[in-house]
Amino acid sequence: MACWSCFITKKKQPLFWGKETRLEKSQALQDGEIWYLSLDKETGCGFQTKQKYRFGWFSMKLKLVGGDSAGVVTAYYMCTENGAGPERDELDFEFLGNRSGQPYLIQTNVYKNGTGGREMRHMLWFDPTEDFHTYSILWNNHQIVFFADKVPIRVFKNNGEANNFFPNEKPMYLFSSIWNADEWATRGGLEKTDWKKAPFVSSYRDFNVDGCQWEDPYPACVSTTTKNWWDQYDAWHLSDAQKMDYAWIQRNLVIYDYCKDSERYPTLPVECPLSPWE
């Protein structure tokens, strides 16, 4: 079972101002147990796994801040480092809060060697504040797939060559945090956080990892096609049923795709032509 430790932060990544800001608590999330992360004007909060992983299936149930949550971002992500280091790899789910009754957006992003800028934004087909929903990442050497309730919402492919877009070398920790991003998150920063509504609370349960736990020294977690299901042929691409779901998501719920943003990227990044259907 994964062990977590807690931190206090003002941003997405942990901040260590001194000893007292790092909570002493370090424990495992038991089955059925619920953890709460809360944000007020002074501090956000987060937790991370003690272990690192390379490739696998990483899944957690989240129930997001309800009511007026404009400006509040709940992040659930994997990262090779504890901080925002310049060489980090990262896989992100970010849930962008909104005014009461307005829809949350889910933003995903992929970093390799410190470079991100690969955002996609989706609407959801359910209210993520009403109940727990499962958010998962499948990661192998061929693809990274972001799921909401087992529906693939984003597929990020490797091209089988040495490249600077697909994170596959370094192991990652898993993190979650809640923080204030009202300078950009909701309607591009137009909607400010209403601190009268604080504290903002997100809830977590049922962390589930079926992946390779990294142990120094290298080489641990080498992907072989014989050992683990997440490295095997079936996990290299979507199944036929998943393709149907994914096509529906693509048609109906994509709000933003960096690969379609030719104003921002006059030359589209090299990974953009890779087909999610293969």
The minimum distance between CB 182 and ligand NAG, in angstroms, equals 11
Q: Is 96 in the site for ligand NAG (CB under 6 A)?
A: yes
CB 154 within 8 A of CB 108: yes
Q: Phi and psi (nearest 5°) for 107?
A: -110, 135
What are the start-end ranges of the E strands in the chain?
3-9, 26-28, 35-39, 44-49, 53-63, 72-79, 90-96, 105-111, 120-122, 133-139, 143-148, 151-157, 173-180, 200-213, 254-257
Give, as ranges, the residues between 104 and 163 that touch ligand NAG (CB under 6 A).
Answer: 105
Give, as ranges, the residues between 218 and 257 that touch ligand NAG (CB under 6 A).
Answer: none
81 vs 182 by CB, closer to ligand NAG: 182
8 vs 124 by CB, closer to ligand NAG: 124
At which residue do the structure tokens 């972001």 appear?
146
Q: Is 187 in the site for ligand NAG (CB under 6 A)?
A: yes
Distance (Å, rounded) from C-alpha 139 to C-alpha 167?
9
The minimum distance between CB 160 and ligand NAG, in angstroms, equals 35
Q: Phi and psi (nearest 5°) for 47?
A: -145, 160
Distance (Å, rounded) from C-alpha 278 to C-alpha 274?
9
C-beta nearest to ligand NAG: residue: 102
Catalytic annotation, pick one of 81, 94, 191, 271: 94
Distance (Å, rounded) from C-alpha 135 to C-alpha 62?
7
With CB under 6 A as the rule, give the number of residues binding ligand NAG.
Answer: 8
Distance (Å, rounded) from C-alpha 122 to C-alpha 154?
9
Q: Is 180 in the site for ligand NAG (CB under 6 A)?
A: no
The minimum distance between CB 107 and ligand NAG, in angstroms, equals 8
Give SS3 for 186. Answer: helix
Q: Is 102 in the site for ligand NAG (CB under 6 A)?
A: yes
Is 90 among the residues known to form the active site?
yes
Catalytic annotation, pick one of 20, 33, 42, 90: 90
Is 130 among the residues known to form the active site?
no
How many residues in the chain? Answer: 278
Which listed residue (9, 69, 98, 143) binds ligand NAG by CB under 6 A?
98
Distance (Å, rounded) from C-alpha 120 to C-alpha 92?
10
The minimum distance between CB 252 and ligand NAG, in angstroms, equals 15
Q: Is 103 in the site for ligand NAG (CB under 6 A)?
A: yes
18 vs 188 by CB, closer to ligand NAG: 188
Q: For residue 155, which of 49, 28, 254, 33 has the smallest C-alpha distance?
A: 254
The minimum distance between CB 260 and ligand NAG, in angstroms, equals 17
Positions marked catalytic? 90, 94
Instruction: Name the site residues for ligand NAG (rule: CB under 6 A).
Output: 96, 98, 102-103, 105, 185-187
